[in-house]
Every structure is written in C-alpha cells, then in structure tokens.
Amino acid sequence: MIQHFDAGDLVAVLTTQPLDRTLDYKAPEGGCLTGAFVEVPLGPRKVIGVVWGPGRGDFDRAKIRSIIRVLDAVPMRDEMREFLTRAGDYTLTPMPAMLRLATRSPGLGDPPSMRSVYRLGDGAPDRQTDARRRVVETLHDYGGLAFTLKELAEMAGVSTSVVKGLVAQGVVREEQSPRDLPYPRLDPGESQYDLTAEQAAAAAALAAGVRSGAYGTTLLKGVTGSGKTEVYLEAVAAALKAGRQALVLLPEIALTAEFLTRVEARFGARPAEWHSGVTMTERRRCWRMVGEGGASLVVGARSALFLQFRDLGLIVVDEEHDTSYKQEDGVLYNARDMAVLRASIAGAQVVLASATPSLESWANAEAGKYARLELTTRFGEATLPEMRAIDMRDEYLPGARWISPTLEAEVRARIEAGEQALLFLNRRGYAPVTICRACGHQIGCKHCDARLVEHRFLKRLVCHQCGETVPIPEACPECKAEGRLAPVGPGVERMAEEAQALFPEARLAVLSSDLFGSARALKAKIEAIAAGGADIVIGTQLVAKGHNFPLLTLVGVIDADLGLQGSDLRAAERTFQLMRQVAGRAGRAERPGTALLQTYQPEHPVIRAILSGAEEAFWTAEAAERRAAGVPPFGRLAGIVLSSPDVQEVFDLGTRLARADAPLRAIGAQVYGPAPAPIARIRGRHRVRLLVKAAKGAPIQEALARWIGQVKPGPNLRLSVDIDPQSFY
C-alpha cells in the first residue's frame, strides 16, 4: 500500500548496504511516499535507499537522522517491492542485494540532466523575414511540440542564429526539458505476413491471454524456423494495444541486433534495450522510461526483469531452456522462474518459447500449470534436417584427426554445390590438455584445480575457471624437457586447422565467444556468414543460439558423445537440446538440410532419441527417471558451496553443517557431503560442496535458513546457497 509520510514521520529505509534490516529515518521536508528512492546518511557516508514502510520505532528517536533528499525517480511500486521480497525469499538472498539488482541505473542519484528545447512563444517579431516565418510555421505545424535548437533550425531550413533572434523577441520560447526522452511509440498494427492456420491459432491464444489482464504462463514449443518469434510478436502487439508494457528476454546479446530489426519492421520503431552492451546514457534512459511508461517494449538480458515497469503485461522468455538464464554468480537466480514469479504478481502473461524446452517447463505443461501451444512445421519450404549418426567405430582416422572420411565427403559435396557446412564442437581453444611427452605431466592452473587450455590464436594457455593466462612454454614446467609438450584433444581452433588442411580452397569462419572482442564484432561476423562469406563455419555452442544462416545445409557434430559424460543430472537433457538446436541450423531456407552426428555409441538412448526426433518419448522417459530419483523437477535440490584459502577450515565447517542437520531432517530433507567440489580449487580458494535434497513441496528455504544460521563462518570463509542449481562444479 502506498502511504504518504509527513516531514518528521519515522520511515523504514532499505539501503543497498549489506545490513540485515531496514533503518529508521525521519521523512524529509515535504514528506515522502512509500517506495520513494532516497538518499540517507549512514555513518559518515550518503547512500541510496528506498522507503520501505513506516519506521520500526525500535531505536532512540532523538538519534534518528533525516532523509537527505528524495531522488528524482518514480517511486518503487508495491508490486516491485513484493517481487524483490519474494525473489529474495526464494533464492535466500538478503534484501540489500535484491535492491542492488533493482537500482542498476547509472546516475540514479544525479539531478535530472536537462537540455534546452524550443517551442512557440507569444511575442511578435519586430520585422518579418522568410526565414523567421519558416521557423514559426514549422512550430505551428507540429502543434505544441518542442525541439532542440539544431532540430528546429534543420526542419525550418534556417541557421541557428535565426532561432536565437526569435528567442530574444519572445516569439520562440526556450525551456529546459529532461534529457531522457520517451521511446518512439510502437504501432501494434498488423503482422506483415499471412500467418499459417497453426501460427494464427497460437497467436490468437496468446493475445487472448494478454487481453484477459490475468496471470498465465504458456509454453510455446516449435521447431526452429516454425515462426515462434512471429507468433509471440502478436502477443506483444496485444500488450501494446492494451496499453501495457512488454519485455522480451533473449539469452544472448548477439541475438538482439537481428531481433531489433524485426521489431522495427513489425512495429515501425525500435524498442528500448537493456543489456551490458548498451551505453550508460541509454541504460539510464531505459531505467527511467520503463518506470514512467515512456518505454512500451524492452528487449533485454535476464537483469531486465528487475526494471520497475509501470504496467507489465507480458514477458517473453525466448530460448527458455538456455542455461544462460541462470545467473551463476552474485545473486543466484533463474530468470525463467523469476519471470513467472514477476508475472504472477503483476497479472501478466509469460510466454516460454523454445524448440527444445527444459524438462521443468515440459513437466509444468504436462501437469497443467502452464498452457502449451505447438508449432509443428517449419515455415514455407523449409523442412527439418535429416539426421543420421556416423558410427566412429567404422571410420578410419589417423591420430590427431577428428573429421571422419564420411563427414569429409559430405562437406566437400556442400562446398562444390556452393552451400555452407557447419562443424560443431562445443570446446573453445585449440586443445583442452597440454601434456609433456617426456614425463607425462599435464599443465594445470596454479590457482585452480583445472588444466590449462591452449588458445593458439592468443598464443597462450588459458584457465577456463579463473581466466589466468600464461605464454605457451617451450619446456615442461615439471621435468624441464624442451620441445616435448604436445596438445591433446581438439578445440574449435584445432578443428579449423584440420578443416583447412582437408579443404585448402575453402573459406573458413570460426565462431567462438573468446575470439570476439565485442558484441558488435561478433554480429558483423554472423552477418557476413549469413551473406555467404564462408564455406565452412566452425563453432561452439554460440552457433546453436538462433542465428539464421540461409545457405547452411550441413551440420556435422564432431563429438556427439561429449555432453553425455559427467555426472550432471541434466547431461541427457542438455545433449538432447544442444544437438537438436545445432541440427536446426541446417536447411533454414529453401534448401533441405542434413545433420550428421559423429558418435562412438549410436545405440545410446539419448543419441537414438536425438536421431529419431521422438521428442515426447524422450521427455517422458527422462521425466520417469528423474521422478524415480526424486530429483528436479520432481524433487528439490539446493547446492551449498563453502570456500576458503584454508582447506582445513572449509572441511571443518562442512562437517559441522552436515552433523547439525536437524532443521533439514524436520522437513524430511537429506544432506549429502561435504565433498570436494568437482573443481576443488578456484582462484586459490578450496571448495567443498554439500547437496540438500527435499521433496517437491517441502519448505526448503526456511529449513536452509535455520540450518545455516546455526554456524558462524569465519572471515575468510564464503558460503553460497544455490536453490535449484543448474551446474554442479
């Protein structure tokens, strides 16, 4: 509830400082509202906070200080405060950290930045000239609008001194106006395409959901190229028509450019953007305009969920299965799940779009919690690629070679036909391991329990955990033998070398996130490839994410077995999704595509499911296995990682926690560990994991809070809790 406080009233202020409670302050001169962004004194400093409600009154009133000032920003709405509170409760994140997510606007504490604008005044000119008349007519033509000096002079076709002369006589009025202008209005209009019957039905269902003004989540499943984007843009149109705001989350900044172009084609203007590649000025404008209602559509990364929308009616989570929606450091949250929470509070609709949904979303749709819409065919001529295994046990390959003769012949045929082939290997760098042929030593990171990966392009060995790099050594660091170090296994850079040797005349393009300094460079490369600027594309999972390559007709997966190793509970799911996504890159336009999977285990149930495309059968089998094991989405997990430079200290604390498990047993949960984490040391900190497993409905957050509250970690020790962990490193 929004409440007004008079000057001097006690109010509780939540700050972004790591304190475990709100602090009481006196409302400033002129009073303030709940949700107001304020500046308050804290010790010798001034910090930013939000008025959270009436003061607690548990502190000596005489010592309570006053709020310094109310900031120039729309107060945080109740809905947003509830979202932050519930998201914090769910992820066991202290409120100050949640507030930090919601105040990531550059210059939030600054006074509004102003600029001069010009509009019609009521004075009369001392003498009329042609130039003067044009200025006055231009301002008349545009009704009451105001323009900057440069704009007005350009539109009237006069020099700026003419405008200034009119200002001096009061014919034109100069005013100050905030720099952060609203975004151009988007016109919901009509789709420029004739939607197919299936697309039209799905679009109508989503639009009806938006019009209902109530919460609902829909899983929009459809093969790559079936028109999911086209369909959810109709839901965006429905939100615009209803005068509500929409948010589209994309898993990868590199995808935004293509999407913005589509939005512009459909709605006549560009939406607001929110991600790390956006300038400070634009971020500030976006943050403010979302709150004031001057932005009707935002396209962004997961953190856009924490913008304070004035009236959010729709959230689209595109490629909802993508693991990058899980934030893996700082506040550990899953943007897909938080989108559902946010929408349920705001009375908004969620659309989860994917060709290969997460098992979580699939199970929620099965259980009737989410609606489900399906697009079964690719648009137009495009057909799904034919998928086959290449049984590597039957292929002859000399050492340090990974492209089988069968795959080689297929690639050659594509190049000769003027088409593109993609070789997919989900491994960055040149070689994952560097071994000494003299002593067998494998070069590892000094700070981490990880082997260094050779990046030949950078001429360095790189730790993929901590980012430490060293020059590629001449001699073995262990036995000092010279010239005996050898790369073992392939990365994409090594695949490029092999492909160049096999196809010397072909033009190669390597797509790997570490090879691009900026999102812009990556985007340029992707556009060049799409336009036919390469014959062979060699890429990591970066290429699996929704880019359109119309000339691409062959996808060769170098090692389809790669993701099936390891103990991750989602290994099968991830492999299934990734392989289907990558295969979906082939045959997007008129030409049919083929996907070939190099595998040593073509009989493996996951490989067979990928090849047959029997998706429902795969999900059903996978769901049955997880249900039997009581793991997500049919049970709950929380991962606890303890880390410290002192190995004894982490194990001691881990053991104490494991013994003090009464609060967990009280809800029927079990704790496993402590065990060294799969990566037992990162940046010099030793890491120990505990895993808590509970039944689906168990109140796991409260139990975890009570359990962890029993121990007081020392100053060097870090403890992080990951609810619904996605990775287990």
Residue 467 or 714: which CB sits closer to Zn ion?
467
Q: Are 283 and 274 in contact (CB under 8 A)?
A: yes
- Per the CB < 8 A criterion, the answer to whether 552 and 420 are in contact is yes
In total, the chain counts a number of residues equal to 729
Site for Zn ion contains 653 (CB under 5 A):
no
* Structure-token match 């089988």, residue found: 404
224 binds ligand ADP (CB under 6 A): yes
- Of the candidates 565, 564, 514, 505, the residue with the CA atom closest to the CA atom of residue 536: 505
**Considering only residues 66, 196, 383, 500, which one is a binding residue for ligand ADP as defined by CB under 6 A?**
196
**One of 468, 497, 661, 702 touching Zn ion (CB under 5 A):** 468
- Residue 224 contacts which entry, ligand ADP, Zn ion, none (Cβ below 5-8 A, type-dependent): ligand ADP
Q: CB of 220: closest distance to ligand ADP in angstroms?
A: 9
Which phi-psi region, left, alpha or beta, contains residue 587 (left: φ > 0; alpha: ψ -120 to 50)?
left
Do 538 and 495 contact (CB within 8 A), yes or no? yes
Using rule CB under 6 A, residue 201 touches ligand ADP:
no
**Total site size for ligand ADP, rule CB under 6 A:** 14
Beta bridge partners of 174: 118
Tell me which of 64, 195, 260, 508 binds ligand ADP, using CB under 6 A. 195
Angle, vertex CA 619, rays to CA 616 and CA 624, nearest 5: 125
251 binds ligand ADP (CB under 6 A): no
Angle of CA points 216, 217, 219, to nearest 5°? 150
Asked whether position 554 contacts Zn ion by CB under 5 A, the answer is no
Stretch that binds ligand ADP, among 51-59, 217-225, 484-492, 535-543 (CB under 6 A): 217-225
Question: What's the token pair of residue 222?
Answer: 């459809």
- Which of 34, 199, 218, 356 forms a contact with ligand ADP (CB under 6 A)? 199
Of 463 and 530, nearer to ligand ADP (C-beta) is: 530
Choose the one of Zn ion, ligand ADP, none that binds residue 257, judging by a C-beta under 5 to 8 angstroms depending on kind: none
229 binds, options Zn ion, ligand ADP, none, Cβ within 5 to 8 A by partner type: ligand ADP
Q: Does 587 bind ligand ADP (CB under 6 A)?
A: no
Report the site for ligand ADP in 367-406 (rule: CB under 6 A). Answer: 379
- Is residue 414 at the binding interface for ligand ADP, with CB under 6 A as the rule? no
DSSP type of residue 83: H
Contacting residue, 225, 251, 633, 654, with ligand ADP by CB under 6 A: 225
What's the sign of the alpha-carbon dihedral 147, 148, 149, 150? negative
Residues 13, 16, 18, 22, Cα dihedral to 10°: 10
**With CB under 5 A as the contact rule, which of the stretches 245-253, 441-449, 529-537, 581-589 interacts with Zn ion?**
441-449
Report the C-alpha gap between 585 and 166 in whole angstroms. Answer: 60
Could you tell me if 83 and 341 are in contact, meaning their C-beta atoms sit under 8 angstroms apart?
Answer: yes
Q: Mark the segment that binds Zn ion (CB under 5 A) among 83-91, 194-202, 463-471, 488-496.
A: 463-471
Paired tokens of 179 = 């720099």
- Kindly tell me which of 91 and 420 has the beta carbon lying closer to ligand ADP: 420
618 vs 606: CA distance, rounded Å: 8
Rule CB under 5 A: say whether 445 interacts with Zn ion.
Answer: yes
Residue (of 670, 657, 675, 664) closest to 711 by Cα position: 657
CB 263 within 8 A of CB 297: yes
The site partner of 228 among Zn ion, ligand ADP, none (C-beta below 5 to 8 Å per kind) is ligand ADP
Residue 222: name its binding partner from Zn ion, ligand ADP, none (Cβ under 5 to 8 Å by kind). ligand ADP
218 part of the interface to ligand ADP, by CB under 6 A: no
* Closest distance to Zn ion from the beta carbon of 446 (Å): 7
**Measured from the CB atom, is 255 or 461 closer to ligand ADP?**
255
Choosing among Zn ion, ligand ADP, none, which partner's interface includes residue 465 (Cβ < 5 to 8 Å by kind)? Answer: Zn ion
| Pairing mode of beta strands 349-354, 216-222 | parallel
DSSP reduced 3-state for 151? helix
From the list Zn ion, ligand ADP, none, which binds 402 (C-beta under 5 to 8 Å, kind-based)? none
Check if the beta carbon of residue 560 is closer than 8 Å to that of residue 604: no
- Contact partner, 673, from ligand ADP, Zn ion, none, Cβ < 5-8 Å per class: none
Number of Cβ within a 10 Å radius of residue 566: 10
Shortest Å, Cβ 430 to Zn ion: 18
Q: Segment near Zn ion (CB under 5 A), from 72-80, 436-444, 448-456, 607-615? A: 448-456
Of Zn ion, ligand ADP, none, which one sits near residue 195, judging by CB under 5 to 8 A according to partner kind? ligand ADP
What interhelical angle do 78-91 and 335-346 show, nearest 10? 140
Residue 643 binds Zn ion, judged by CB under 5 A: no
Identify which of residues 230 and 360 has a Cβ nearer to ligand ADP in the complex.
230
Site for ligand ADP contains 261 (CB under 6 A): no
Residue number with CB closer to ligand ADP (225 or 633): 225
Q: In this chain, which of 447, 456, 460, 484 binds Zn ion, going by CB under 5 A? A: 447
581 is a site residue for ligand ADP (CB under 6 A): no
Q: Token digits for 691?
A: 């895993």
Nearer Cβ to ligand ADP, position 222 or 300?
222
Q: Order of strands, edge to edge, in the sheet holding 685-695?
A: 670-682, 685-695, 635-644, 718-723
Verify binding: residue 463, Zn ion, rule CB under 5 A.
yes
Return the number of the residue (261 or 720) whose C-beta is nearest ligand ADP.
261
CB atoms within 10 A of CB 353: 24
356 binds ligand ADP (CB under 6 A): no
Binding mask 399-438 for Zn ion (x = CB under 5 A): ----------------------------------------
Quote the tokens at residue 626. 């997880």
Percent of residues in the chain assigned helix, strand, coil, to nearest 5: 35, 25, 40
Minimal distance in Å, beta carbon 467 to Zn ion?
7
Prior bond of 398 cis (ω within 30°): no
Q: Classify 544 as helix, strand or coil.
A: helix
Sheet holding 386-391, edge to edge: 386-391, 594-599, 552-557, 420-424, 536-539, 508-511
- Considering only 39, 180, 198, 230, the residue that binds ligand ADP (CB under 6 A) is 230
Amino acid at residue number 27: A
Q: Given candidates 465, 540, 575, 598, which one binds Zn ion under the rule CB under 5 A?
A: 465
Q: Is residue 171 close enough to count as binding Zn ion by CB under 5 A? A: no
Q: Is 93 in the site for ligand ADP (CB under 6 A)?
A: no
CA distance 511 to 4: 55
Which residues does residue 316 pair with via DSSP β-bridges, in sequence order?
248, 351
How many Cβ atoms from other residues are within 10 Å of residue 641's Cβ?
A: 21
Smallest gap from Cβ 434 to Zn ion, in A, equals 14
Q: Does 226 bind ligand ADP (CB under 6 A)?
A: yes
Q: How far is the CB of 191 from ligand ADP (least distance, A)?
A: 8
Touching ligand ADP, residues 135-194 (CB under 6 A): 193-194
Q: CA 439, CA 485: separation in Å to the nearest integer?
A: 10
CA distance 601 to 562: 11
Interacting residues toward Zn ion by CB under 5 A: 445, 447-448, 463, 465-466, 468
Interacting residues toward ligand ADP by CB under 6 A: 193-196, 199, 222, 224-230, 379
